[in-house]
């Protein structure tokens, strides 16, 4: 495993934004993951874990520590479940489950994350969240010690889990599923894709929903009602298709996205007395 220096984070985030990571590596197994942690410890570096980088806003000046991008990619199918390693892209997992007649995760159709990042974010859609399907999580602490964490100890809440504190690195997750019929599962996936493509801007780089939905309301509805749909700052724009998405029109900087976020927050607070909280995570 190579540890690369000055790797542009824009190459590893769906926003296509971010300066260089001082050090960057992509471990493919547990032993490489442990080596990466050892390197960080010896060099006294801060560590940030990234998955598919689909919920991240990486700073323009980059990251001064070690960015670890786990690429562990095994999938182990069971009769009514699956164990998938952290680096497996969620959409690939979903296609594999459909092919093998396993149902229960179709609601994550269209989410461009990896297994580790999606569990860390407790990604979801509507009332469904990936954490509900988790049985247990295998993780390493910064010392490289392996732990098994049962679902009830994962601290799952709305886009929340204990794994967001950068103290535990998910290596593998077991999900509980049900048996289903491949054509029916595939048709549910197709339907969900159609709904997403109609309502969300998949044609431009973004990091998905920028703000969490406040209470029973929707951040997108509030930002749109505040008249901010289509607003641009630098190379970033509040999407015309979905106001809770900020899109990169080509040359956006993290500072452009942050300015738009501040504008949205301020305007929504002033007009509706509602405080918006970010869903995207800053890598800085
Ligand atoms: C077009 C689009 C649509 C989206 N739609 C949705 C949606 O419907 N619902 C939804 O919930 N999200 C959505 N998202 C956001 C994003 O895809 C999800 O949050 C996704 O699950 C994040 O996974 P990731 O692997 O990209 O994580 P990253 O963005 O790489 O990381 C997110 C967080 O997880 C941590 N992390 C990553 N990997 C690990 C690991 N192995 N161990 C411990 N911590 C880790 C990171 O440190 C960070 O705190 C969307 C994004 C886009 C671009």
pLDDT in tens, 189-240: 999 999 999 999 999 999 999 999 999 999 999 999 999 999 999 999 999 9
Mutational pocket test of ligand 1: of 92, 111, 196, 241, the residue with most ligand atoms within 8 Å of the beta carbon: 111
The count of structural domains within the chain is 3
Buried b (16+ CB within 10 A) or exposed e, 162-179: ebeeeebbbbbbbbebee
Ligand 1 centre to CA of 227 (Å) is: 28
For ligand 1, atom 2, name the residue with the nearest CA: 208
Domain that includes residue 27, residue range? 4-68
Whole-angstrom distance, CA of residue 258 vs CA of residue 270: 18
Domain containing residue 250: CATH number = 3.90.78.10
Structural domain includes residue 206: no
Residue 265 to residues 128, 228, 237, 260, Cα–Cα distance (Å): 26, 11, 15, 9
Structural domain includes residue 210: no
Reported as a single tens digit per residue, the pLDDT across 14-47 is: 999 999 999 999 999 999 999 999 999 999 999 9
Q: Is the pTM of this model over 0.85?
A: yes
- Strands 56-58 and 281-283 turn out to be parallel
116 lines ligand 1 (CB under 6 A): yes
Same domain (yes/no): 50, 129: no
Number of residues in the chain: 284
Same domain (yes/no): 249, 165: no
Structural domain includes residue 9: yes
Structural domain includes residue 207: no
Whole-angstrom distance, CA of residue 284 vs CA of residue 27: 21
Residue at which a domain ends, from 198, 227, 252: 198
Label residue 178 by pLDDT band (50, 70, 90). very high
């Amino acid at each position: 495993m190579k540890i690369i220096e000055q790797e542009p984070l824009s190459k590893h985030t769906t926003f296509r934004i971010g300066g260089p990571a001082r050090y960057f590596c992509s471990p493919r197994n547990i032993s490489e993951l442990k080596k990466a942690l050892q390197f960080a410890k010896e060099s006294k570096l801060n560590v940030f874990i990234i998955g598919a980088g689909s919920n991240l806003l990486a700073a323009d000046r980059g990251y001064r520590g070690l960015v670890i991008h786990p690429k562990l990619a095994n999938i182990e199918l069971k009769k009514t479940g699956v164990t998938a390693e952290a680096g497996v892209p969620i959409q690939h997992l979903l296609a594999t489950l459909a092919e093998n007649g396993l149902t229960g995760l179709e609601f994550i159709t269209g989410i461009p994350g990896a297994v580790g990042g999606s569990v860390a974010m407790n990604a979801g859609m509507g009332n469904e969240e990936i954490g509900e399907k988790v049985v247990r999580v295998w993780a390493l602490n910064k010392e490289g010690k392996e732990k098994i964490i049962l679902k009830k100890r994962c601290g799952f809440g709305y886009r929340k889990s204990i794994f967001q504190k950068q103290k535990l690195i998910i290596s593998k997750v077991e999900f509980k599923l049900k048996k289903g019929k491949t054509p029916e599962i595939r048709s549910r996936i197709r339907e969900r894709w159609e709904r997403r493509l109609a309502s969300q801007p998949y044609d431009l780089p973004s990091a998905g929903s920028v703000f969490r939905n406040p209470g029973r309301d929707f951040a997108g509805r509030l930002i749109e009602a505040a008249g901010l749909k289509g607003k641009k700052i630098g190379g970033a724009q509040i999407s015309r298709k979905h106001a809770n998405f900020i899109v990169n029109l080509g040359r956006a900087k993290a500072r452009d996205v942050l300015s738009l976020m501040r504008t949205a927050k301020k305007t929504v607070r002033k007009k509706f007395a509602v405080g918006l909280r970010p869903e995207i995570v800053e890598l800085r």
